[in-house]
Structure 1
Amino acid sequence: MLNAILHAKSGRHGEAEARTPWRETFRDSEDFITATLFERLSYLSGPTAMSILAEATRRDAGGDGAKLFGWRMAEITEIAFWPLWEDPLPEAWRKEPDVFLTLRVGDPQQVIHLIVEAKRGGAPQLQEQWCNQLRCYNDLRHEDASPDLVGYLAIGGHVPDPTAYRGAGLKQRPDTLFAIAGWEDMARGVAQALDTSAPAEARILKDMQEALTLFGYLHVKFEDTLKHMAEVDARAVTSFGAWT
């Protein structure tokens, strides 16, 4: 489906004059970018997936991205999209995180449970949503042994007050590790992984890169020669403009 949309072969949906191109619907949907990116992330080798998530969360100076994703030995063993979790509060609606992953990392091996909440564009991440999901997670019955680490990844949108959000989340579960990333950060991580990827993984990474580009997140890598170019004197630009 992704390639049909990317190459304008997916047609339209809806009725009569109101029919909308699937490409436009895909571009405007937070759920589509979440499913497209994280589904393909789970197809990658563990170390490659970790390198992307580590790079995506690198700019989150107060976060726990390095603790969650700085593993050389790693494997994504389970992934669930939009799981419905019962809320232990009376008469409360079930809660639905965007993605829930189980990762096995390190040697000796440890288990990480990772909750992912994704937002599109400038939509705010919601502190109440973080707390609600962690409260529901605490009430889950895990088939395996309890995890060694519990992580919460907020990707996309914006977090008005990261310290306050983390503090509120820690009241629900004190051992939670929090990380914040933008889709543009994910695009940078994918681009860097492409530089060193094997051919089999490169195809998956290129799919991810094209999907991110469709959503408006393109990482442009500047050549080292451009970084070291001398600064142009503004007076020279003005003189050149007058002369031409």
Structure 2
Amino acid sequence: MLTAIHRGKASQCFNGEELDWKELFSGSEDSLTASIFERLFYLPTDLFWFILRNSCYDNDDLPKDCGSLISKEFWPHWDATKTSNSNYIEPDIFIRFEKFDLIIEAKRYDKNQQDPEQWKNQIDAYKNMHDKKLYYIALGGIRSEKKEKCNNVIIFPCQWNRILRAVKKELSNITKDVDATDAPILLRPIFEDLLLAFNIHEFAVGEWFETMPHLDSYINNQSLVTLSDLPFN
């Protein structure tokens, strides 16, 4: 679907109007969040966490080891008891790792969209259900590059462009390593798809998969392994 949108093939008439899906997607916070994180979740857990952790500012207090990925959920609805909301609480992403839990609140643009009251409500709602160690990433819309504390939980600022740079770096490493075998070369399509998702949402991706050598030039007999053999946890 991302390729169809990028190539202008996803247009369709609705009530006599042709929709420009790329224009609709470009400013959408929810489609950006889903498009990027759905693909990041395809990566082995340790690589996913390495990219996300290193994309955060002031990240010394974020553990380097997350353990295995237990569960992930987009836009869960949590009980609003003991919060300032009357209906429910809805963080963008909730991830349960073996060693800690993580809330991600994503904003589409770069400055002054994050709301500390929203952080507090989400943390309070989380504490209604769980008592595990919790970390919180404020992605996009940040006011500072310094971590903060909210209700005894550390809030780590992050920007979409920092995730993009990390993705480009990983793809570049794979592309340059002509002797890459097994897992690394099979991860390349995921990183290419991530660049496509960023491009559709109007991020400047620079040189990306259309200008890179075809994957076949990097495949050798030793690299022909099945995805089921990869260490995804």
User: Shorter-normalised TM-score: what interval?
Assistant: 0.7 to 0.9
Post-superposition Cα deviations, 1:11-57, rounded to whole Å, max 9, x if no partner, equal 1464324x421121111210001011111111100121122112211
What is the match of residue 178 of structure 2? none
The structure-2 alpha-carbon separation of the partners of 1:209 and 1:101, relative to structure 1 and needing over 3 Å to count, comes to same
In the alignment, does 2:130 pair up with 1:153? no
Deviation at 1:86, TM superposition (A): 0.6
How many residues in Structure 1 have an aligned counterpart in Structure 2? 196
- Aligned equivalents of 1:28 and 1:155: distance in 2? 15
One-letter amino acid of the counterpart of residue 154, structure 1: A
Unaligned runs of 5+ residues in structure 1 are 105-110, 222-244
The change in CA–CA distance for 1:22 and 1:220 in structure 2 (over 3 A counts) is: closer
Q: Which has the higher helix share?
A: 1
Partner of 2:69: 76
Q: If the length of structure 1 is used for normalisation, what is the TM-score?
A: 0.72
Equivalent position of 2:49 in the other structure:
50
Task: State how far apart, in whole Å, the 2-side matches of 1:92 and 1:35 are.
Answer: 26
| 1:138-178 superposed Cα distances (whole Å, 9 cap, x missing partner) | 101x5xxx53x311011112226956xx34x1xx3x2x232
Deviates more, 1:152-161 or 1:197-206: 152-161
Residues 211 and 69 of structure 1: is their aligned pair in 2 closer, same or farther, counting only changes over 3 Å? farther
Choose from 112, 118, 122 the match for 1:129. 118
CA contact (8 A) 2:144 2:157 kept: no
The answer for the alignment partner of 1:192 in structure 2 is 169
CA contact (8 A) 1:124 1:157 kept: yes
- Structure-2 separation of matches of 1:117 and 1:25: 21
Q: Could you say if the C-alpha distance between residues 192 and 76 of structure 1 is closer, same or farther in structure 2, counting changes exceeding 3 Å? A: farther
What CA distance in whole angstroms lies between the structure 2 residues aligned with 1:13 and 1:86?
40
Q: What is the DSSP-based 3-state SS (H/G/I as helix, E as strand, rest coil) of the residue aligned with 2:68?
A: strand
SS class of match (2:143)? coil
In structure 2, the gaps of 5 or more residues are 175-183, 208-233
For residue 43 of structure 1, give the secondary structure of its aligned residue in structure 2.
coil
CA RMSD of aligned residues (A): 2.4
* Aligned position for 1:139: 128
Residues 94 and 104 of structure 2 are in contact (CA less than 8 Å); yes or no, is this contact kept in structure 1? yes
Structure-1 separation of matches of 2:194 and 2:41 = 12
TM superposition score normalised by structure 2? 0.75
1:107-143: CA deviation from partner (whole Å, max 9, x where unpaired) = xxxx221101000114611111111100101101x5x
